[in-house]
């Protein structure tokens, strides 16, 4: 038997799970996230291996979803590399220099010198001007010895990456061993967002190496000697360690995605609403074909705008610790909560505050604390309070749900006792599903993740028709998924988006995503 271990580092807890070949969860562990993130990871791996009673040598795959990179950026960590920025496209784009919209302290931490070089392309792949190699060499010579990494960005490189590639080649000659990010490998059209992502990615190479090293050591210490290692990406799929070392920025914000995917997997519902009821708020997301529906808002990382996307989630002010007030016959739910102090403040724990959890206990929905301590709560009043809570959840579900067809509601989180299985009459909900192991749902999301490949490119319809362009994008996405570790036989296309471009009647933008099980 071969096993997989999945680890998720969250803001509060680090979780780990072990799953078997058929992806059944056989052991789980939870431990507080430590200031030195690796320490928590080591502990979680040790705990879960111990609990599983399997031989660590049988673990052949290990996947990690971690906040290392986000933290490094948010904290302006000294581990971020000094990065040189080469923007190719002059005379275009001079009106907004690189790093214009960055927080000054983050720019100061990362910026090792910004240079603009003549070159770049038009939307149809024509050159604006040929790449001026003399300017480029002069810039690189000035950067030599001052920076540890380079971000190379060229105008319309997603359409024609030739100048970025040539510049990377020259950089390798002039600055042997320098680590280089080419923007076209990370993101699509949108110069500033792509440039920001490339700069952050280059600055994160050092952090990525320490994750890789730390992860490997943590596994070895637990006796896991021969596992293939993967990191989770923000889209819910995996990158091999080699790949992650080149594109560390793609690990940003994988937590919420892992949570939704884990819930979907554990409940066996590829299409569902996911309700995560915490202590203070509830998050509602939607899973479609096993992946979270994405928000249209661009992701800000530590005050830097990038083109990456996050799951679409609405938060409502209702959790297990939400404070319930009755004033003059009126019942008010929250919005404040006793939060993490539930175990001292709630009535059932001998506290003095009526909370949503107390209501659930009074109505017999949950067996928590001492039920005798809520017997004095008026039953009609408790019922009314519960009705109002269900109205809040119903409204949240309505906001997220797109079709009238009922969907399963997957309920996870510490506050999930608030929801009854059947009789709450939530509209648009076919059934309430409570998956097992929900406290470690993020780690499950990591353990069951697949490899993926994406394409987001502009195709000129002068040289091919629309169908040919889409086919070309599909096969490129599959190729990239296989490169990321997918078994070629298991790959499939999960998303196709074709956008015609205004003004350019003869061009389309094609976005395709392919996924596949790990080989």
Partner 1 sequence: MIMLDEQAIEDIAIGAALLGSGGGGDPYVGKLMALASIRECGPVPLIRAEEVPDEALVVPSAMMGAPLVLIEKLPNGQEFERAFRALGKYMGQEVYATMPLEAGGINSMVPIAVAARLGLPLIDSDGMGRAFPELQMVTFHLHGISAAPMAMADEKGNHVLMDAISNHWAENIARSVTVTMGAGAMIGLYAMTGAQLKQAGIHGIMSFSRKIGEIIRESRKTETSPTRKIAEFTGGYLLFQGKITDVARGMEGGFNRGVVRLEGIGNGKGSSLEVEFQNENLLARIDGEIAASTPDLICLLDLETAEPFTTESLRYGRRAELLVLPCHEMWRTEQGLKVVGPRYFGYDCDYVPIEELAKRRGR
* Binding region for partner 1 (CB under 8 A): 89, 91-97, 100-101, 120, 122-123, 126, 128-129, 155-156, 189-192, 286, 293-296, 305, 312, 314, 395, 398-403, 458, 499-505, 509
At its nearest, how many Å lie between partner 1 and the CB of residue 398?
5
Residue closer to partner 1, measured from CB, 368 or 392: 392
3-state secondary structure of 160: coil
Residue closer to partner 1, measured from CB, 188 or 267: 188
At its nearest, how many Å lie between partner 1 and the CB of residue 264?
16
Residue closer to partner 1, measured from CB, 95 or 330: 95
Residue closer to partner 1, measured from CB, 306 or 357: 306
CA geometry: angle 124, 127, 129, nearest 5 deg:
150
Rounded to whole angstroms, the Cα distance separating 347 from 157 reads 61
At its nearest, how many Å lie between partner 1 and the CB of residue 402?
5
Rounded to whole angstroms, the Cα distance separating 457 from 317 reads 40
At its nearest, how many Å lie between partner 1 and the CB of residue 510?
13
At its nearest, how many Å lie between partner 1 and the CB of residue 75?
24
At its nearest, how many Å lie between partner 1 and the CB of residue 100?
5
Residue closer to partner 1, measured from CB, 155 or 232: 155
User: By C-alpha distance, which of 269, 140, 149 is closest to 198?
Assistant: 149
Q: Which two tokens stand for residue 271?
A: 């299409």
Rounded to whole angstroms, the Cα distance separating 512 from 181 reads 22
At its nearest, how many Å lie between partner 1 and the CB of residue 418?
22
Torsion of CA 141, 142, 148, 152, to 10 degrees: -80
Give Cα separations from 7 to 28, 62, 72, 320 (angstroms): 10, 8, 19, 26
Residue closer to partner 1, measured from CB, 224 or 507: 507
At its nearest, how many Å lie between partner 1 and the CB of residue 270?
17
Residue 438 CB contacts under 8 Å (≥ 6 apart), including other chains: 263, 266, 411, 412, 413, 416
Residue closer to partner 1, measured from CB, 216 or 295: 295
Residue closer to partner 1, measured from CB, 255 or 396: 396
Q: Which residues of 141-160 are buried (b: 16+ CB within 10 A; e: fewer)?
A: eebeeebbbbbbbbbbbbbb
Rounded to whole angstroms, the Cα distance separating 322 from 337 reads 4
Rounded to whole angstroms, the Cα distance separating 65 from 252 reads 9
Residue 47 CB contacts under 8 Å (≥ 6 apart), including other chains: 16, 29, 31
Rounded to whole angstroms, the Cα distance separating 461 from 473 reads 13
Q: Which residues of 224-245 are buried (b: 16+ CB within 10 A; e: fewer)?
A: beebebbbbbbbbbbbbbebbb
At its nearest, how many Å lie between partner 1 and the CB of residue 193?
8
Give the helix ranges, DSSP H, for 320-465: 342-345, 356-362, 379-400, 441-447
At its nearest, how many Å lie between partner 1 and the CB of residue 515?
20
Dihedral (CA of 291, 294, 298, 301) sign: negative
Residue closer to partner 1, measured from CB, 220 or 298: 298
Question: Strands 3-9, 13-19: parallel, antiparallel or unpaired by DSSP?
Answer: antiparallel
Residue closer to partner 1, measured from CB, 163 or 401: 401
At its nearest, how many Å lie between partner 1 and the CB of residue 92?
4
- Local structure of residue 422 (DSSP, 8 states): S
At its nearest, how many Å lie between partner 1 and the CB of residue 386?
21
Q: Which two tokens stand for residue 261?
A: 């995917």
Cβ-contact 190, 132 below 8 angstroms: no
Residue closer to partner 1, measured from CB, 27 or 106: 106
Residue closer to partner 1, measured from CB, 49 or 128: 128
């Amino acid at each position: 038997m071969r096993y997989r271990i999945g680890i998720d580092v969250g803001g509060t807890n680090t979780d780990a799970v072990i799953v078997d070949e058929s992806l059944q969860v056989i052991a789980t562990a939870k431990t507080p996230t430590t200031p030195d993130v690796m320490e928590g990871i080591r502990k979680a791996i040790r705990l879960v291996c111990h609990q599983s009673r399997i031989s660590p040598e049988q673990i052949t795959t290990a996947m990690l979803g971690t906040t290392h990179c986000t933290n490094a950026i948010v904290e302006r960590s000294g581990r971020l590399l000094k990065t040189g920025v080469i923007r190719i496209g002059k005379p275009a784009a001079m009106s907004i220099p690189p790093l214009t919209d960055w927080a000054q302290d983050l720019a100061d931490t990362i910026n090792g010198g910004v240079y603009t070089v003549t070159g770049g392309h038009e939307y149809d792949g024509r050159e604006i001007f040929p790449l001026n190699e003399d300017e480029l060499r002069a810039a690189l010579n000035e950067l030599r010895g001052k920076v540890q990494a380079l971000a190379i960005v060229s105008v319309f490189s997603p359409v024609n990456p030739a100048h970025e590639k040539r510049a990377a080649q020259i950089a390798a000659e002039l600055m042997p061993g320098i680590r280089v990010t080419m923007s076209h490998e990370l993101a699509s059209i949108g110069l500033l967002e792509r440039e920001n992502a490339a700069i952050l990615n280059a600055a994160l190479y050092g952090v990525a190496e320490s994750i890789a090293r730390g992860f490997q050591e943590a596994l070895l210490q637990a006796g896991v000697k021969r596992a293939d290692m993967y990191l989770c990406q923000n889209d819910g799929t995996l990158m091999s360690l080699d790949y992650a070392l080149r594109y560390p920025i793609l690990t940003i914000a994988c937590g919420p995605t892992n949570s939704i995917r884990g819930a979907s997997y554990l409940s066996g519902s590829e299409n569902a609403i996911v309700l995560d009821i915490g202590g203070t708020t509830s998050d509602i997301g939607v899973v479609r074909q096993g992946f979270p529906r994405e928000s249209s808002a661009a992701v800000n990382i530590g005050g830097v705008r990038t083109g990456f996307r996050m799951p679409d989630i609405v938060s409502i002010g209702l959790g297990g610790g939400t404070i319930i007030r009755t004033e003059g016959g009126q019942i008010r739910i929250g919005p404040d909560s006793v939060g993490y102090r539930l175990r001292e403040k709630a009535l059932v724990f001998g506290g003095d505050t009526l909370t949503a959890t107390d209501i659930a206990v009074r109505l017999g929905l949950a067996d928590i604390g001492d039920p005798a301590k809520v017997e004095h709560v008026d039953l009609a009043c408790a019922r009314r309070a519960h009705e109002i809570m269900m109205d809040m959840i119903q409204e949240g579900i309505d906001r997220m749900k797109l079709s009238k067809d009922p969907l399963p509601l997957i309920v996870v989180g510490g506050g999930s006792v608030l929801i009854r299985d059947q009789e709450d009459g939530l509209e648009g909900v076919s059934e309430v599903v409570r998956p097992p192991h929900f406290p470690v749902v993020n780690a499950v999301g990591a353990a069951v993740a697949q490899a993926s490949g994406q394409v987001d490119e502009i195709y000129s319809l002068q040289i091919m028709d629309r169908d040919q362009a889409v086919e070309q994008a599909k096969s490129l996405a599959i190729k990239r998924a296989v490169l990321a570790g997918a078994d070629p036989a298991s790959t499939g296309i999960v998303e196709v988006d074709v956008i015609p471009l205004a003004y350019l009647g003869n061009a389309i933008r094609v976005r395709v995503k392919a996924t596949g099980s790990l080989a």
